[in-house]
Structure 1
Amino acid sequence: MSPLGSSLLALQQADSFFPGGAVAWSWGLETLVADAHLGTSPITTIGRRQRGLRHDRSEEVRAFVEGQLRHRWNSFDRAFLDAAWQAADDLQSLMLLDAQVEALTLAEELRQGSRRVGQSLLGVHVALGTPGAAPYQQNILAGTTSGHLPVVQGLIWQKLGMHRDHCQLAAAHGLCTGLVSAAVRLGVMGHVDAQRVLTDIQPLLLELLDEAPCAPDDASGFTPMAEIAVMRHETQNLRLFAN
C-alpha cells in the first residue's frame, strides 16, 4: 500500500467517529476527577466552587495524558502492538502475545478494559470484512485467546495494509484523543482547551515514536495512581464511564 493510502487508513482508524468502543473508558480519569486528585486538593476545589471560580485543569489533564502515553502505552501497549503487527500471519504467536498481555496486566479492571475494547474493535472489523478478523474472533469465542487491544490493533491494521509506523501513530493519537474527550465529557475542560492539550502533547508523541519500541519481554507499565483509580471506580456512586 502507498504511504498516502496507509495514512488515510490511519486517520480513519484513529478517528473518534470510528466505533471501536474506546469512548466508554476513561482509564481512571473519572475517579481522579471525582476524588479531586487531578492535581488539586479537595479543599482548594471546594473553595473555588464556593467563590464561583473556574479551575482550569488543562495542565493537569495534559500531565495525565503524558503519563499514560509515556509510562503505559509507549512502554507496554506499543510493544505488543508492534509484535502483533509483525506476527499477523502467525496465529500461535498472536495468542502467545495475548496471553502475555493478560499475565502482565495486574489490575483486573485494566485487563477487562483492554479485552472489551479489543474485542469491540475486532467486532467492527468482522462486520467490515477485514481479513483475519473473523478467524481471530472465533478463537476468542472459543476461549483460546483474550483479544487484548494492542494485539488486535497490530493484527487488524497489518491486514488492512497500514504501515508499521502509521499503526503506532494511530494507536497513540487515539489514546490521547480518547483521554481528552473523557475530560471534556467530565466537565474538566472545554473543547478548545482539549485541542491545546493535544497540540502540546504532540512533540512528546513524536519523540517517543522516533524511538524503537521495546520487545514484549521488556515491556512494563507504571501508572500507579491511575491504576488505583481504575480499581476504585466501581465504588463511585455516579459513573459515566466503564472504568
Structure 2
Amino acid sequence: MTTDPGSFLTALRLSDSFLPVGGYTASYGLEQYLNEDRIETGDDLRALLAAYLRRVVGPCETVALASAHAASGDGELERLLAVDERLHAVTMPREFRESSTKAGAKLSELVGSGSIEGAEPREEGDAGRAAPSPAADGGDLTAAMADAIETDATPGHYPVVFGVVSQSRGVARLEACLSHAYSFVTGLLGAAQRLGRFGHTEIQSVLESLEPVITAVCERHVDDDAAAMASFAPLAEIMGMRHERAGRRLFMS
C-alpha cells in the first residue's frame, strides 16, 4: 500500500463514479435480477454483490488487474496482451464483454488526452511506494496498450487498462485492486438506487457491510497467476444473457 498523496488521489479518481468511462451505463445483470423480482431487500442485494465479489471480481477481474499491473511494471507487452485475451475468453455474456471493453477504451483515451496525469517517480521505500517501472522502450505501457486497443490487436478490458494506468501512475498493486473492486460495488449499488428499489441509507448500509468482503477478496487474489483467472457465477451470467433480450432496459448490461 502507498501513503504518497499523489498516488492516493489517483486511486480515488480511478474509483470515483465521476470518472467518465461509461460505468454508469452498466449494471452487469443487476437490472435483470430486479426485473425478475429476484432482489427485494437490502439483504438480497448484499448477498448478490458479495457473490459477485467472490465469484467474478476476485478470481477473474482482480487477477486480471493485478497481472496487468505486474506485466506493466516489468515492461512486458506480450504478457500484458495475453492477460487481456484471457479475461476476454472467460467473460461469457456479450454485454459484459462490451461494457468492459468500452470502458477500457475510454479510460485509455482519457490517459492519452492527459486527463489523468502521472505521478512523479520515487525510489523504492519513498513514502512506502515503488517507483513505476519503465517498459523496454524506455516508457510505460499505457501508449502501447492504447495503440493495441485502437488497432484491435487486443480487446482492452477495463480491469486490464486499469492495472496499466494505476501502475504507471504509481498506485501500488493491492491498492489498485481495492480501488477497482470498490468502484465495481459502488457502480452496482448506484444502478440499484437509480432503478428505484433502494434508498440512500440502505445503499450505504450495504456498502459498509461489503467493505470486509472487498478487502478479503483482493488480498486473496492479488498474487494469483494469470492462468488461474476464472469466473464462476452461472446465474449472474444467465441474467446478463437474458438482459440482452429484455424488453425493458435502462442499462447497457
User: What TM-score range do you get, normalising by the shorter chain?
Assistant: 0.7 to 0.9
Matches within 5 A, 1:173-192: 173-192=182-201
TM superposition shift of 1:238: 2.0
- For residues 197 and 167 of structure 2, what CA distance do their matches in structure 1 show? 36
Contact kept, 8 Å, 2:50 with 2:210, in 1: the verdict is yes
2:250 corresponds to which residue?
A: 240
Q: Which amino acid aligns with 1:158?
A: Q
* Equivalence for 1:45: none
Deviation at 1:212, TM superposition (A): 4.5
Provide the residue aligned with 1:101 in structure 2. 87
- Give the Cα separation in 2 of the matches to 1:222 and 1:62: 18
Give the count of matched residue pairs.
226
> 188, 202, 220: which one pairs with 2:211?
202
In the alignment, structure 1 residue 166 sits paired with structure 2 residue 150: no
Q: Which residue of 1 aligns with 2:226?
A: 216
The one-letter code of the counterpart of 1:69 is L
TM-score norm. by structure 2 comes to: 0.84
Q: What is the rounded CA distance, in whole Å, between the counterparts of 1:62 and 1:17 in structure 2?
A: 23
Structure 2, unaligned runs of 5 or more: 118-139
1:65 to 44, 49, 53: 49
**Is the 1:21–1:121 Cα contact (8 Å) retained in structure 2?**
no
CA apart distance, 1:2 = 4.8
1:123 is aligned to 2:109: yes
Equivalent position SS for 2:220? coil
After TM superposition, the structure 1 = structure 2 runs for residues 219-230 of structure 1, keeping only pairs within 5 Å, are 219-230=229-240
The structure where helix makes up a greater share of residues is 1
How many angstroms does 1:132 deviate by?
Answer: 4.0
Paired amino acid for 1:138: D
**Is the contact made by 2:25 and 2:251 (CA closer than 8 Å) also made in structure 1?**
yes
Q: Give structure 1 stretches of 5+ with no counterpart.
A: 41-56
| In 1: Cα distance, 2:66 partner to 2:180 partner | 11
Alignment match, 1:47: none
Q: Could you report, residue by residue, the CA deviation over 1:73-109 in whole angstroms, capped at 9, with x for unpaired residues?
A: 1011111100100111221111111111122222222
Distance 1:159 1:240 in 2: 35
C-alpha spacing 1:98/1:212, structure 2 compared with 1 (3 Å): closer
Map of 1:79 onto structure 2: 63
Amino acid at match of 1:199: E
Write the deviation string for residues 5-63 of structure 1: whole angstroms up to 9, x where unpaired.
3222111111111112211100001111111122x5xxxxxxxxxxxxxxxx2111111
Alpha-carbon distance in structure 2 between the residues aligned to 1:98 and 1:211: 21
TM-score using structure 1 length: 0.87
**Equivalent residues in 2 for 1:15-30, closer than 5 Å:** 15-30=16-31
Q: Report the CA distance between 1:192 and its aligned residue.
A: 1.3
1: CA distance between counterparts of 2:86 and 2:93? 14
Identity in percent:
31
Q: Which residue does the alignment assign to 2:162?
A: 153
